[in-house]
Structure 1
Amino acid sequence: MKFKILGLLLSAGLVLAACGNDDDDKQEKQMDKQQTSQTSTDKNDDMDKDNQNDTQSNDQQSSQMNNMTTDVKDIQTEPEKAIETAQKEFDGQVKNIEYKQDNGEWVYKIDLVNGQNEAEVKVSDKDNKVLTSEQETEDDMQEQKVVDLDSVVSYKDAIKTAQKEMKGDLKQWKLNHDNGKLVYEVELVDQNKESEVIIDAKTGKVKGMDH
């Protein structure tokens, strides 16, 4: 009789132990699921933060690029007027002229030459006033080619042609001699991508592109 009771007790103990093990297994599995779920949530949060940071970074870059571009209709001083202002500062012929942003302000940078003397004059687009003027003398001066705005297509037409070839807002334009040819170099920006279109200043035709 004692053996039977002992046997029953042992059986009951094994059943309880098995149940206890099952409960422990369930708890461990539940904890594993919670940890896995938490890990997945953390990864998703990290990915969301990365995507958010990337978006903010792209927005900042776009904003910076937009601040560096302008529209032709927003140019306040015509290049002929800027040249007149520069030539009052230094009596010389135009070697090249460039329109760009400098220290947050839109300016004309005009290089003038007179014999062995050269000058770089920056003129504000906003009020057509001289911002800076630097002069130097070259001892061994070769013959300099000069720019005559009356003999070339207008900068507006050059920019319009460039924007037909490449999509983008105006970053800067320059009129100078390149390999003996008088050309416009028009730089455009589209969604953080910069490109340059070279236009023959005499014919107004596209000579090349760089993007």
Structure 2
Amino acid sequence: MKKKLGIIIGTIAGAAILGTGVYYSNADEATPKLDGDKIKSMVQEQYDGQITEFELETDRHKAVYEVEVTNKNVEYDLELDGDSGEVLKENKKEINQTKNGNSEQAQINAAKEKLISMEEAKSIAKKQFDGKVMSMELDGDDNQFIYEIELRNGKKEAEFEIHAENGEILKQEIEIEDDHDF
């Protein structure tokens, strides 16, 4: 009888521990107090250049914005606290010029001046799918620049690739999260 009682208590304790672990693993990601527009505004006040990457990440249950800013001479990789806007990490990389004053990065920067803004690209995506921007990045492949945008609304998630020069939607995927994990 004591053995059965011990097994039952052990099973209940194990289920409680397992249930707690499942609860915490399914807990919502950290929600920042500052929205993406406020963070972008803060970054643009402090750093000269164009925001070329923007992403909201969760780091140890804390919301962190990862931002890349590029201008003619410098590229900044930043991590900002999603609640306070404080710069947690800053990597500054000088862009080297060649003898004639042109570098590959300088040519890329000149091409970027012809692109639609991140705000315009975000607006194009939001016309197709109303959601919160989770990540946004300017990517250059094969001499073509593309904005890659990920939006989320509840259990729906959308990914877009938008041509950065003319605003054409090149790719659109919408997925619905399934509640059943087998």
Into which bin does the TM-score normalised by the smaller protein fall?
A: 0.5 to 0.7
**Cα displacement (A) at 1:119:** 0.5
Cα-to-partner distance string for 1:12-68 (whole Å, 9 max, x where unaligned) = xxxxxxxxxxxxxxxxxxxxxxxxxx5xx7467436624641442232232244153
Give 1:56's match in structure 2, choosing from 17, 20, 30. Answer: 17
Q: Report which stretch shifted further, 108-117 or 51-60.
A: 51-60
The structure-2 alpha-carbon separation of the partners of 1:189 and 1:86, relative to structure 1 and needing over 3 Å to count, comes to same
Does 1:101 find its partner at 2:58? yes
**Cα displacement (A) at 1:120:** 1.4
Q: Structure 1: 5+ residue runs without aligned partners?
A: 1-37, 163-169
The structure-2 alpha-carbon separation of the partners of 1:119 and 1:210, relative to structure 1 and needing over 3 Å to count, comes to farther
Instruction: Tell me what 2:150 maps to.
Output: 185
Q: Which has the higher strand share?
A: 2
Which amino acid in the other structure matches residue 48 of structure 2? D
**Cα displacement (A) at 1:129:** 3.3
The structure-2 alpha-carbon separation of the partners of 1:121 and 1:58, relative to structure 1 and needing over 3 Å to count, comes to same
RMSD across aligned C-alpha pairs, in angstroms?
4.2
Q: Structure 2: 5+ residue runs without aligned partners?
A: 97-102, 178-182
Q: Which has the higher helix share?
A: 1
Give 2:94's match in structure 1, choosing from 123, 137, 145. Answer: 137
Which amino acid in the other structure matches residue 88 of structure 1? E
**Cα displacement (A) at 1:95:** 1.0
Q: Report which stretch shifted further, 81-90 or 93-102.
A: 81-90
The structure-2 alpha-carbon separation of the partners of 1:81 and 1:147, relative to structure 1 and needing over 3 Å to count, comes to farther
User: Aligned pairs, how many?
Assistant: 156
Could you tell me how far apart the structure 2 residues matched to 1:189 and 1:56 are? 28
- Normalising by structure 1, report the TM-score: 0.53
Instruction: Tell me what 1:124 maps to.
Output: 81
- Normalising by structure 2, report the TM-score: 0.59
8 Å Cα contact 2:34/2:84 also seen in 1: yes
Does 1:152 find its partner at 2:121? yes
8 Å Cα contact 1:96/1:147 also seen in 2: no
Cα-to-partner distance string for 1:105-134 (whole Å, 9 max, x where unaligned) = 322211011124210122333233333322
The structure-2 alpha-carbon separation of the partners of 1:95 and 1:104, relative to structure 1 and needing over 3 Å to count, comes to same
Give 1:176's match in structure 2, choosing from 127, 137, 140. Answer: 137
8 Å Cα contact 2:56/2:64 also seen in 1: yes
Structure possessing the higher radius of gyration over alpha carbons: 1
Does 1:46 find its partner at 2:32? no
